């Protein structure tokens, strides 16, 4: 099993535990830390980052040419997009639908899915994957897994904050992977000077170097 997949399974298990926290259930119908998204919808979106894996593994290997992970993030249209675009509306409605049966059911489904992936993901051969919302390209399975690590780590923080509990501890290597990807996106969006200043010179730092 690749190291990327090991990290993903660890992060996904932590996210599953977070989804089962009583504080998440207590705040279920309240607004989350993300604009226009309830705690319920955020929990459903977080869970989707686990459910994605069996979905893509069950699909046929795509014929589209493969691109690198950083090129994938350069091509997607959702980074920095308005909250009311059809894509972002779909994210919100999809999260609500995923969590429609309540917090206990969602947490149990995610825990079961992680257990299933512990049996299937380690031995899955190297392959390409593609989602219907992408352009005419694919990425490697391990790059897709890396993108899900990013989503799980970021949205676990969002959910924990929304529920008023500490952000879970993730393996340092997983966090480093996420920071590396976010840094590359920030460089592309804001330029080298702003990123360098934000990381090294607080007196000249820009207001934001947000990657997403």
pLDDT tens profile 195-204: 999 999 999 9
65/1 Cα distance (integer angstroms): 24
Q: Which CATH class is domain 3-67+81-169?
A: mainly alpha
> Does the CA dihedral 100-104-107-112 come out positive or negative?
negative
Q: Tokens in use for 199?
A: 């990381």
Residue 131's SS3 state is: coil
**Those residues with Cβ within 8 angstroms of residue 209's Cβ, 6 or more apart along the chain or in another chain:** 186, 189, 190, 194, 195, 198
Residue 156's SS3 state is: helix
Share of the chain above pLDDT 90, in %: 92
The confidence band for 77, taking pLDDT boundaries of 50, 70 and 90, is: confident
Q: Decide: 156 and 15 in contact? Cβ < 8 Å.
A: yes
50/109 Cα distance (integer angstroms): 10
Residue ranges per domain, the chain?
3-67+81-169
Instruction: Say what the alpha-carbon torsion angle 58, 61, 66, 70 is, to the nearest 10 degrees.
Output: 0
| pLDDT digit string, tens, across residues 122-170 | 999 999 999 998 999 999 999 999 999 999 999 999 999 999 999 999 9
Assess whether pLDDT exceeds 90 at residue 119: yes
Backbone angles phi, psi at 131, to 5 degrees: -105, 150
Q: What is the pTM of this model?
A: 0.95
- Least-confidence region, from 7-11, 35-39, 88-92: 88-92
Q: What is the pLDDT of residue 80?
A: 83
């Amino acid at each position: 099993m690749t190291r990327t997949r090991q990290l993903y399974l660890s992060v996904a298990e932590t996210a599953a535990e977070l989804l089962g926290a009583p504080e998440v259930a207590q705040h279920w119908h309240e607004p989350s830390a993300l604009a226009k998204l309830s705690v319920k919808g955020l929990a459903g979106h977080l869970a989707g980052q686990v459910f994605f894996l069996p979905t893509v593994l069950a699909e046929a290997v795509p014929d589209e040419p493969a691109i690198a992970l950083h090129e994938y993030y350069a091509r997607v249209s959702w980074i920095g997009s308005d909250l009311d675009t059809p894509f972002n509306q779909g994210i919100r409605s999809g999260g609500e639908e995923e969590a429609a049966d309540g917090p206990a059911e969602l947490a149990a489904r995610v825990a079961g899915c992680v257990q299933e992936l512990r049996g299937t993901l380690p031995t899955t051969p190297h392959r390409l994957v593609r989602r219907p919302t992408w352009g005419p390209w694919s990425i490697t399975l391990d790059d897709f897994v890396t993108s899900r690590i990013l989503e799980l780590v970021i949205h676990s923080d969002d959910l924990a904050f929304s529920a008023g509990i500490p952000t879970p501890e993730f393996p340092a290597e997983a966090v480093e992977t996420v920071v590396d990807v976010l840094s590359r996106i920030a460089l592309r969006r804001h330029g080298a000077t702003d990123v360098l200043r934000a990381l090294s010179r607080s007196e000249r730092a820009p207001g934001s170097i947000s990657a997403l």
